[in-house]
Amino acid sequence: MKDKDVPVFIEGETICLAVQNSEHIDLYAKWMNNPKVRVFARWEMPIRLEDIKRWFEPRKGRVHNFIVFEIWHNKDNKPIGSCGLAWIDWVSGWANAFLSIGEPEYWGQNIATETTEMLVEYAFNELNLHKLQGGAAVENIGSWSVAEKVGFKFNGIRKDEMYVDGKYYNVKTYGILKEDWMKRKKEID
């Protein structure tokens, strides 16, 4: 185990997926309010520390359909972003994958690709989900490039899906089935 003050959930080479930490709420607020980071992440409203604190409060009757990880940089020994699975449908076995690197100096280093691979592996091999999906604005090239690099299939364009800075943007949608992921893994190995 590396020298970390947060519980590691899944070990990786450059990064690991760590459990979210209520002591890092300042950091989460910094990432989610940063104009550079939030522009295509659909965080159009200011997020207060109080809003984030509420994530950690127990709620009666809460359906467990959201899983969030901190992306922890192994060498630099610090959290740099977050990722997870949203709106998990446990019956049909699908979820939306999401990811955001909150520290822009870590962009363009293949980190989102490595993270997404770990997230997909977790979704299919630990949770036994059947399908993952995701989407990104056509202009958010980094985001949909990651989906394609990891093996997500292009499903289509949702026209005028996002309104950002006075303009509508089309969104590219992607999906990946567990069986295709397994086949792809066999080919790579």
Ligand X SMILES: CC(C)(COP(=O)(O)OP(=O)(O)OC[C@H]1O[C@@H](n2cnc3c(N)ncnc32)[C@H](O)[C@@H]1OP(=O)(O)O)[C@@H](O)C(=O)NCCC(=O)NCCS
- Chain residues in the site for ligand X (CB under 6 A): 37, 40-41, 99-101, 107-113, 136, 140-143, 145-146
Residue 126: CB minimum distance to ligand X, A: 22
Least distance to ligand X, CB of residue 57, Å: 26
Judged by beta carbon, residue 116 or residue 129, the one nearer ligand X is 116
Residue entry with tokens 């309104």: 163
Instruction: Rank residues 111 and 119 by Cβ distance to ligand X and give the closer one.
Output: 111
Smallest separation, CB 163 to ligand X (Å): 15
Angle separating helix axes 111-121 and 141-150, nearest 10 degrees: 50
The nearest distance, CB 80 to ligand X, in angstroms, is: 9
Q: Count the Cβ atoms, other than its own, within 10 Å of residue 96.
A: 16
Alpha carbon distance 180, 66 (integer Å): 24
Give 128 or 170: the residue with its C-beta nearer to ligand X: 170
Q: Categorise residue 93: left if φ over 0, alpha if ψ from -120 to 50, beta otherwise.
A: left
Q: Kindly tell me which of 17 and 146 has the beta carbon lying closer to ligand X.
A: 146
Q: Which lies closer to ligand X via its Cβ, residue 110 or residue 155?
A: 110
Contact 95, 111 (CB under 8 A): no
The tokens of 186 are what? 């066999």
Least separation in angstroms between residue 178's CB and ligand X is 22
CA 159/CA 168 separation, integer angstroms: 8
DSSP code at position 96: E
